[in-house]
Every structure is written in C-alpha cells, then in structure tokens.
Amino acid sequence: MLPLRPQSQVGGLQTSLSLVSSDPILSPDEPRSNSDNLRESPAESASSLETWPTADAATTKKMENGKAEINCLEQKVLHRVSSADKVTLQDIARENVGTICEKMHRLPEEYLEELKNGLRVILEGGNGSQHREEFFILQKFVQGRTDLTAKTLVRSHRVQLEILVAINTGIQGFLHPSISLSQTSLIEIFGYKRCRNIACQNQLPADDCTCEICNNTNGFCNLCMCVICNKFDFEVNTCRWIGCDLCSHWTHTDCAIRQQLICMGPSSKSGAGPSEMVFRCQACNRTSELLGWVKDVFQHCAPSWDGEALMRELDYVSRIFHGSKDPRGRKLFWKCDDLKEKLKSKKMDSKAACRAILMFFQELEVDSVKGLENGESGRLIAPQDACNRIAEVVQEAIRKMEMVADEKMRMFKKARMALEACDRELADKSREVAELKMERQKRKLQIEELEKIVRLKNAEADMFQLKANEAKREAERLQRIALAKQDKSEEEFTSNYLKQRLNEAEAEKQYLYEKIKLQESSRASQSSNGGDPSQMLMYSKIHDLLCSVPSKPDTQGHPFRTNP
C-alpha cells in the first residue's frame, strides 16, 4: 500500500482554504482568458470543505481587539488620505497594475492593512450571500483580465499582489500578517505554477507528473489535493484520504464514495472475480485494495487517536465497506458498527475499542492464512501453478519494492529541492544582511557628517552672536557720543546765535541813538524856531524806549530748546 499521507506545515500555521474552484487560467507569461463561469465548491462532502481552522478563545479575543483598533485607525487614516489617492478592492481588481502601484506607494501602512482586513472579512463570509456575491464579483474582475502576467505583476506593490492572489485563489491565508511569501512565489501561485497550499508550496506539476489531471488542471498538486474536488486540507494519518498504490495521487474518501470509485473489484492477489472492495483511481484508472490500506492506517495511527477521532475513523471505514460483498469486508463493516455503538453508549472506552479493532485485523489475517492453507491442502498444486504463484509473489514483492523506492526517490527529490530552496533563501538573506550592513554604515557616515555640519553651524552661530553683541554695544556707545555731541553743538549754536543777536541789537541801538541825537539837535534848533509839539512828543517816546533796552541781556535761559 501507499505510505500514509505526509503532513506538511509552514510555521505551525494552518491557513484558510479556497472557497471556490479555480477556473482555467493560462500561464503567467501568456494573456489569461476570461473564465466561462464561476463554480461553487462541492458542498455534498464534508471532506472537501475547506475551512479556516478554529481559533482558541485568546486568539479570538486578540482578533476582536485588533478589529476594534483597526476601526479606530480607519477613521484617522481616512482623514489623512485624500479622495484622489484612495484605493478600493474594486480598483485593485480592475485598474492597471502600474497605476494602482503608484497610488499604494503613497498610502500609509494603516490604510493598506485596512484593505487587507476588508478582503479577509469578505472571504470569511460572515455576511452570508452578500459577501459571497462580493467575492464572486472581485474574482470575476481578476480572472477576466488579460494584463496580469508575470512581467506586469513583478512591478506591483506587495499588498496589491497579496490581494490579487487572495482574490484569485479565495485563500485568506495570503493576507495573514504572519505569512510572508516571496514576490516570486506569489506570482507563481497566481499563475498556477506553484501549489496554492501554503503548507506545500511545491512547483507544479508536482514531482514532474505527466498524467492528464496534473497537466490539464490548473493549480492542481497531486501531493496535497484531491483528484476529484481539487481541494486540500490538513488532515493526515486518517482514512479521510485514500491514496493510489500506483500513481500516488490522493482522493477524499467522501469524494470517492460520491463518484462511486469505491466498489467491488478483482482481487489484487488472485486477479479474478469481484472478490474484494477496491478503490479505482481517477488519475490512472487503476485499482488499489482497501482492506490492507485500512489495516495499515489503524495499526500505525490508532494508538494516538482520542475517542472522537477513533469514532470518526470507524465511521469512514463503515462507509467505505458499506457495499462490500466480500466476507472479510462485511465482517469489518459489522465490527466497526458494533464498536461505534459501544463507544456511543459508553460501554467501551477508546483504548479498549482501539485494541479490539487491532485484534480484529490480526484475526482477519490469521483467518485468511488458514483459508489459503485449507484450500491448498484439499488439492495438489501443479508445478506450473506453483511456479506461477511464486512468480506472482515475487512480482508483487518487486512491485512493492519499486513503489517504496519511487516514494523514497520522490521524498529525496523533495528534500533536495527543499534544501536547495533553503540554500537560496539563505543566500538571499545573507545578501540582504550585507546590503543592510552597507546601508547602515552609509547611514552612519551620513549621520556623522550631518553632526559635523551641525556642530560647525552652531559654532558659526555662536561667533555671529558674539559679533552681534559687540556691534550692539559699539552702536550704543556711538549713540551716546552722538547725543552728547549733538547737545554740545546745540548749546554752541544757541550761544553764537544770541551773541550775534546781541551785537545786532547793540548796533541798531547805537544807530537809533545817533539818529535820535541828530533829531534832538535838529529839534532843538526847530524849538528855537517854534516846532510842532506832536512831533516832539514822538521823539520823546522813542528816546525813552531806547533807554529802556538793557545793555547786557540775560543769557541764562534758552529761547529755543530746553537741555534735558
């Protein structure tokens, strides 16, 4: 049988899965055609439902607090972002990559985070059909564009690319803050060149598979996805998945039952007659027996199951062998129903039920060996038949060895690819660290240079301030000197003016005195001759006025300006 389905995780995080099936899209290097229609995921099978894992109470509370903070931030962000710079999910889904990229580079981080949160709310589908309709519209816009190629997406903004990938795949895990895929990986996922399962991330087609499904179904990964519904989940070590012994493709048990791929078929040992329940792989159209596979799963995994998991696995086995006409298959069906009833009625605990089912498988194997011995003891086997049986056993052993070798080779290739990817990532990180160190050193030198310039400018400012203070003091001194000289010059001017006026007054006095004397002499002569009395009276007044003028005027006061 094919080894148990391996478990792959990335950082311990389980991501939300696709809500709708992916429509055919061309390679990222070629234009992508419009999808004909949008098909809702199969909902008939519980196994094929892809859901976000249930979070614990603490995580839920953190998410609620985060949403409350985001709502507060949204109001602040909207006030800072102009209407011309705003970007919506519809703009990202419809508009040109370069135009939206330029706008998003100008937007604050809070606004971009709000865009991602808005798309996460739509993908969670909390508002039912309205959110589903909004998602269908966004996905139709994205899948209907022909310009979204690898050459254009490589120039896109990081958040813009994450939103486009989340819309195209319907997986909100690409928007999770703790998941950071490289830009190349996101572009390959968008173009269906890499598995969209974040826990897988294999190049497609996985293991270079050349089957029709891997080559014709865009985005299908045979390592983690169901051949029928093309979905994946994180269930491992369970009967929920059935693997093909030959092509190693996996199928949900529910999907296989619904498509009637689990039915009676020829035994892989005898090769004749519908003797046991088999699984017919849709990828290679070959059959694998189921009883041995169920036995291997229970022997390897049942001891680690709790009561709920054991009940679920018994239910899967009951549904697988419900239509079995093989005696061993019927016995297994009845045994599973009996154990389920006992577990439901609490008549048996999970550990006892586990021991009982394992013991039942051992009894089936013993009964099979005894039946084969009894059949052979009743008749002689011809040499040719014996040789044929031996050849069949040898071929079966060789086939199983080849299967194991192929599986080991695939695991080796996968491990080598993972190692090479780690080496490349380590080299990239080393290069980034070196660049960051160089940038840090450059910034450090720039800071030191700026500090030198600042110190020089401070010294210059101090020097200019000192010179300004000295100039101010000198100006005050010169102002005091100027005021003193102005006062002195005004005093000298006043003194000279008064002296000049005094001299003029003395000269005028002397002139008038001489004139009066002359007039007195003439009057005396006229009086002797009998002059006019009124004229004599006038001359007398003029003489009295001249006599009243002081000979030395008082120069103590200033007639024009008072000295402060």
pLDDT, tens digit (0-9, with 9 covering 90-100), for 213-258: 888 888 888 888 888 888 887 777 888 888 887 788 888 988 988 8
CB atoms within 10 A of CB 372: 11
Mean pLDDT of 325-345: 85
Percent of the chain with pLDDT over 90: 12
- Asked whether the beta carbons of 83 and 111 are under 8 A apart, the reply is no
In terms of Cβ atoms closer than 10 Å to its own Cβ (0-12, 13-18, 19+), residue 292 is middle
pLDDT, tens digit (0-9, with 9 covering 90-100), for 147-171: 888 888 888 888 888 888 888 888 8
Strands (E), 244-321: 250-252, 262-266, 274-280, 287-289
Which amino acid does the sequence have at 100?
Answer: I
For 176, the 3-state DSSP assignment is coil
Q: How confident is the model at residue 370 (pLDDT cuts 50, 70, 90)?
A: low
Please give the pLDDT value at position 87: 82
Q: How confident is the model at residue 367 (pLDDT cuts 50, 70, 90)?
A: low
Greater confidence (264 vs 483) lies with 483
pLDDT, tens digit (0-9, with 9 covering 90-100), for 392-426: 778 877 877 887 788 788 888 888 888 998 898 89
Q: How confident is the model at residue 190 (pLDDT cuts 50, 70, 90)?
A: confident
Please give the pLDDT value at position 516: 85
pLDDT, tens digit (0-9, with 9 covering 90-100), for 449-463: 999 999 999 999 999
Sign of the four-CA dihedral 203, 204, 208, 209: positive
Q: How confident is the model at residue 18 (pLDDT cuts 50, 70, 90)?
A: very low
pLDDT at 378 over 80: no
Please give the pLDDT value at position 50: 45
Greater confidence (231 vs 43) lies with 231
Q: How confident is the model at residue 374 (pLDDT cuts 50, 70, 90)?
A: low
Task: Specify the pTM.
Answer: 0.54
Please give the pLDDT value at position 44: 34
Mean pLDDT of 111-137: 83
Which amino acid does the sequence have at 323?
Answer: G
And the tokens for 506? 């003395």
pLDDT at 261 over 80: yes
Phi, psi of 54 (to 5 degrees): -70, 130
- Quote the CA–CA distance of 139 and 165 in Å, as a whole number: 10
Q: Give the closest residue to 21 by CA, choosing from 47, 49, 45.
A: 49
pLDDT at 493 over 90: yes
| Residues 312/315/317/320 CA torsion (nearest 10 deg) | -130
Please give the pLDDT value at position 472: 94
Please give the pLDDT value at position 38: 30
The maximal CA–CA distance of the chain, rounded, in angstroms, is 211
- Quote the CA–CA distance of 396 and 1 in Å, as a whole number: 11
Please give the pLDDT value at position 447: 93
Greater confidence (381 vs 298) lies with 298
The three-state (H, E, C) secondary structure of 101-116, written as one string: HHHHHHCCHHHHHHHH
For 554, the 3-state DSSP assignment is coil
